[in-house]
A and B are shown apart, each in its own frame.
Chain A
């Protein structure tokens, strides 16, 4: 089973434009990452807060609802966050010009 997961991660990583993928557990500690340590920690901390806020907002409006996906697009790149129950994965992509 872990092999499948590893494979999926590899496949995602090999897609065009994907710079890195980070798996974070529920407390915000990165458990797996394809980026270097410092950026991982930086990203993990910041994204965690954003995710909590976003999730809180969605559920405040309707408690039966839940956040399924979060995308942050910026000028240079795009961060995609998939929240899960005990962990969440997020993906860090750079949008190369016309190479999407």
Chain B
């Protein structure tokens, strides 16, 4: 019977070359008869399972597959037939059933079919075997065996001597490859209904009753009403009980930031749960992990919490694993906390806040904000008295002591230089180092923040005393430090590392004598070539002014050698070949014209030099009789500069005059440092042994306007004006940097440039007249 049905199928196939699928979707067929399986890759829902049983390969269908298959992207992945047999040739081997081949056809498109087949193989085993046995007659014995083998394992590929062998081999290959590749692949299977298959279509013919043939037709169609009764098998009840589905209610109070947090941390894999599982409604163990913050006790309790959720969580197993691991990792390590950087930061914030409380009035005064009195504290008598004292003197200008930067580290050290950070006006770098030849000790650079006057933010220990400092303007975190032994180091103040980014100790050309001044100069105005950008320029006691380039290490190029000019000794010219270099102590670049700079030497000469000439000075100013400690251009008047020296004098010069315009002396004390005020053109500050002086040329050019005497034994050695507020910093030989506020200085609305020029003009004219009178007299 099966044979006949097979043949029938075949004929049917031959006739209907329109290649409809021949999946027979009746259950009866499935069990007993041959079930054709077409090559056509489309699957019908029910028919698919039937197709998974024994199949007949329909070659003719292979030629014209009407059904196309599209994958998820809409591309046409209809498998092309590997073998296109001639349509007219009978396919004797057609009766062979190659479930494996069928799988090869279908695996290209329908992966689940393989699964079906593999799963159903065992199921249909007995049936197919019996079937195969019955169909064996229609096949060669060879193939029968092979087929049975195939049904057993579906993987054995017989070597067939048919013309199909190549095709089969190919198909097998395809099947092999595909199998391995796609074993793990998730494939979408689309189950669609095939078109209706007409197996037998005999359209009804209707004949009207009045026609001649009516009787004949009636005769032919003898309809007998007959009833049938189906057998009703005995019913059997079967009960199934499923596992009880435990339901757990979960509720989370989620706030806005809960949701924001979980949204932000959605991408993380495992840290997610520890970090921000609050409010993660999707994952089940959310309440447990949310509570880990509030959960006060240790692992035990949290373990129990997790265990309850793990029974409930239907989500992936790894999630459960995660929650079980959590209690172990969660225990915060005290040491870790204490050591974490975040903690340090927080502590630092705390410290600053406390200090802000303490120092608030002073800081407010510094920043020119109104001083807020603490409403809760009680003012004592003493305080009031001191206030009234100061208010008495409030008419005359004075320096109000605000606070002192000091700590035990800096005790006993001499402040040699101070500089503000160019970018952060609250950051001050102070260098500590002895200026004398004796008592040299290792130097120190401290970066103080205004917000914390009791402890510096950064401390760098240097090998030898620090004599010069400057912050870079381009890279505001680079601090150049010049030392007593001639080394120049560049530190990065962003880190607390003690080692500099680079230092010049490897450079062959390094300075042999103390570096007395350093400056980062921005040269990009007017210079061509490779000199653009910021460069570090230093002057040192070996008489050289050098430019340092950071290129694989600090390299230096000499800008100028400070030769001592020809000295006329006893009316003889000093032998020019034995020109020695005068130690340079200071230099200053012109604020507007960065090519011109002044350099002061130990001999008391001030040379005006140009960047482009390294041999000759443009001009020399001789007036000082002692080493010139500082020379500075006026920030407002382009022609004026000040110089101070150890011969107790400060001179005001004009660029074009070789003699100073004004000289300032007050007492016979060495002047260590001077600086123009950045706010007012006529004000400058000077630091002498034992005194801090603020001169205001509008008021008087003979006496300093403000004199502040320091403690006996302590010499102020460095002076710095603040760029924004009217405060002055004074560093002294005890390692303290005191901040003073300038009070009651006559303030002008403009920078008083004209005032300065007036003063100078009057002085010059008076001198001129004096000179005249002298000559006359």
Contacts and interface: CB of A to CB of B under 8 A. Distances in A.
Interface string B337-351: 111101111111111
B379 interface: yes
B374 interface: yes
A98 B296 contact: no
Given A69-B349, A86-B340, A89-B347, A12 B257 contact: no
B257 A100 contact: no
B475 interface: no
A47 interface: no
Contact of B351 (A8, A68, A83, A84): A8
Contact of A15 (B334, B348, B354, B378): B354
A100 B358 contact: yes
B332 A12 contact: no
B257 A60 contact: yes
B357 A5 contact: no
A82 B337 contact: no
A4 B347 CA distance: 10
A50 interface: no
B260 A17 contact: no
Contacts of A91: 350, 354
B350 A80 contact: yes
A28 B296 contact: yes
A96 B379 CA distance: 11
Given A11-B455, A64-B260, A98-B378, A31 B350 contact: no
Interface in B346-382: 346-351, 353-355, 357-358, 360, 374, 376-380
Contact of A80 (B294, B339, B340, B354): B354
B257 A59 contact: yes
Contacts of A1: 339, 344
Contacts of B351: 8, 11-12
Contacts of B571: none
Nearest to B339: A1
A16 B259 CA distance: 43
Given A11-B351, A12-B350, A87-B343, A98 B379 contact: yes
A94 to B, nearest CB: 11
B320 to A, nearest CB: 24
A95 B347 contact: no
Contact of B358 (A17, A71, A83, A88): A17
Interface string A71-88: 101010010101111111
A63 B347 contact: no
A2 interface: yes
Contacts, number: 124
Contact of B342 (A56, A75, A85, A98): A85
B348 A8 contact: yes
A16 B360 CA distance: 13
Given A59-B256, A60-B257, A98-B380, A87 B337 contact: yes
B295 interface: yes
Contacts of A85: 342
A26 B687 CA distance: 53
Given A26-B293, A98-B377, A5 B343 contact: yes
A100 B377 contact: yes
A62 B774 CA distance: 80
B332 A60 contact: no
A11 to B, nearest CB: 6
B343 A59 contact: no
A8 B378 CA distance: 30
A21 to B, nearest CB: 8
- Looking at B347, B348, B374, B378, the one whose CB has the most chain A CB atoms below 10 A away is B347
B255 interface: yes
B383 interface: yes
Contact of A93 (B334, B337, B338, B354): B354
Interface string B245-276: 00000000001110111000000000000000
Interface in A17-49: 17-18, 21, 23, 25-29, 31-32
Given A8-B344, A80-B350, A100-B377, A29 B338 contact: no
B335 interface: yes
B374 A31 contact: no
B341 to A, nearest CB: 8
B655 interface: no
B454 interface: yes
B354 A18 contact: yes
B255 A2 contact: no
B350 A60 contact: no
Contacts of A80: 350, 353-354
Contacts of B350: 12, 21, 80, 82, 89-91
Contact of B335 (A2, A61, A71, A100): A2
A97 B260 contact: no
B293 A27 contact: yes
Contacts of A64: 260
Given A1-B339, A63-B256, A64-B260, A9 B347 contact: yes
A35 B92 CA distance: 101
Contacts of B337: 23, 25, 31, 86-87
Contact of A75 (B355, B374, B376, B383): B376
A95 B377 contact: yes
Given A11-B454, A26-B332, A59-B255, A5 B376 contact: no
B148 to A, nearest CB: 69
A9 to B, nearest CB: 7
B339 A84 contact: no
A2 B360 CA distance: 29
Contact of B260 (A15, A31, A63, A69): A63
Interface string B48-81: 0000000000000000000000000000000000
Given A5-B339, A60-B255, A84 B346 contact: yes
A1 B354 CA distance: 22
A75 B569 CA distance: 80
Contacts of B378: 97-98
Contact of A8 (B261, B347, B379, B383): B347
Interface of B: 255-257, 259-261, 293-296, 332, 334-335, 337-340, 342-351, 353-355, 357-358, 360, 374, 376-380, 383, 454-455
Given A17-B358, A27-B293, 6 more contacts: A5-B338, A31-B334, A59-B257, A60-B256, A78-B357, A98-B380
22 contacts: A5-B343, A9-B347, A21-B350, A23-B338, A23-B343, A25-B334, A27-B293, A27-B294, A27-B332, A31-B334, A31-B337, A31-B338, A68-B349, A69-B349, A71-B353, A73-B376, A86-B337, A86-B340, A87-B343, A91-B354, A98-B378, A98-B380
In the A-B complex, the 10 residue pairs with the smallest Cβ-Cβ separation, listed nearest first, are A63-B260, A59-B257, A97-B378, A84-B346, A63-B257, A82-B350, A1-B339, A8-B347, A82-B346, A60-B256
Interface of A: 1-2, 4-5, 8-9, 11-12, 15-18, 21, 23, 25-29, 31-32, 56, 59-61, 63-64, 68-69, 71, 73, 75, 78, 80, 82-91, 93, 95-100
